[in-house]
């Protein structure tokens, strides 16, 4: 009986070793490993949404944007990508399709089709969705993960929601915040920005890749409008889903590239 008990205990110990080892991995290490795998991807298939709601002078304006992105050769000098974008505003939808073969950006919008030399950074920067993703998905500092634990979901993925202070957000996303404020102000002067209710939701898939990254926050700003100070509250949510990371991605160009006029 003692031998059987000892054998069962030994088997139980062996079986529990993987669980023990996985528990030793910190939330920060889980994230950094997943981020490194994501950053090493040479091709990507992703969906990115940017949902913005601005409340000002008693009125509410919403402008959701949705991107479907396929890209390959990201680590090369001439990446190829296709991005289908839908922008909704004031009850209307506008479609913007961008294809880049590394040499030109082919832009289709409002029944107009133009191609822009990729070397013209000033003109093509607003269409570079790969850079937009890199602006949002960043390597987060270890301090955000203190006393945090990833939750293992029934499908084998791991998820975690982080709370971020306004000061830390401004440090991590200052360029993105300024770009958002400039866009909201539309040429008007504005004062200091403040941020609240900041969250970053992370998901790591079964293969250890970062597969979801969702940044949400509220930005408060004051603008000078016709000599009057106007307060605005902008609620933003930017969920990004990476589909099947690590798998081959095929980028299909539009069939009518010859019809695009050089800009």
Alpha carbon distance, N-terminus to C-terminus of the chain: 85
Condensed to tens digits (0 to 9), the pLDDT of residues 211-231 reads 999 999 999 998 887 778 889
The yes-or-no verdict on residue 21 having pLDDT over 50 is no
The residue among 191, 194, 196, 195 whose CA lies nearest residue 222 is: 191
For residue 185, what is the domain's CATH number? 2.50.20.20
Q: Is residue 250 part of a domain?
A: yes
Condensed to tens digits (0 to 9), the pLDDT of residues 66-109 reads 999 999 999 888 899 999 999 987 778 899 999 999 999 999 99
What H or E segment, with its residue span, contains residue 106? strand 104-109
pLDDT at 22: 45
Question: Which pTM does this prediction carry?
Answer: 0.86
User: Which position has the higher pLDDT, 163 or 3?
Assistant: 163
Question: CB neighbours of 114 closer than 8 A, spacing ≥ 6?
Answer: 106, 107, 260, 261, 262, 263
> Which domain range does residue 40 map to?
26-262
């Amino acid at each position: 009986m003692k031998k059987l008990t000892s054998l069962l205990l030994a088997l139980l110990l062996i079986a529990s070793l993987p669980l023990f080892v996985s528990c030793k991995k910190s939330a920060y290490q889980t994230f950094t490993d997943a981020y490194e795998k994501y950053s090493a991807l040479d091709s990507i298939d992703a969906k990115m949404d940017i949902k913005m709601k601005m409340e000002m002078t008693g009125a509410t304006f919403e402008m959701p944007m949705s991107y479907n992105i396929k890209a390959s050769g990201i680590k090369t000098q001439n990446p190829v990508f296709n991005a289908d974008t839908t922008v909704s505003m004031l009850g209307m939808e506008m479609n913007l399709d961008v294809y880049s073969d590394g040499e030109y950006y082919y832009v289709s919008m409002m029944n107009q089709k133009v191609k822009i030399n990729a070397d013209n950074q000033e003109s093509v920067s607003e269409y570079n969705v790969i850079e937009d993703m890199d602006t949002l998905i960043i390597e987060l500092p270890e301090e955000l993960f203190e006393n945090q634990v990833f939750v293992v979901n029934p499908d084998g993925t791991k998820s975690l929601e982080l709370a971020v202070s306004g000061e830390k957000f401004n440090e991590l996303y200052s360029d993105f915040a300024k770009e958002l404020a400039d866009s909201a102000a539309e040429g008007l002067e504005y004062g200091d920005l403040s941020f609240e209710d900041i969250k970053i939701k992370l998901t790591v898939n079964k293969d250890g890749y970062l597969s979801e990254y969702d940044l949400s926050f509220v930005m408060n700003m004051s603008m000078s409008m016709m000599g009057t100070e106007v307060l605005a509250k902008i609620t933003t949510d930017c969920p990004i889903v990476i589909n099947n990371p690590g798998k081959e991605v095929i980028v299909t160009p539009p069939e009518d590239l010859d019809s695009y006029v050089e800009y």
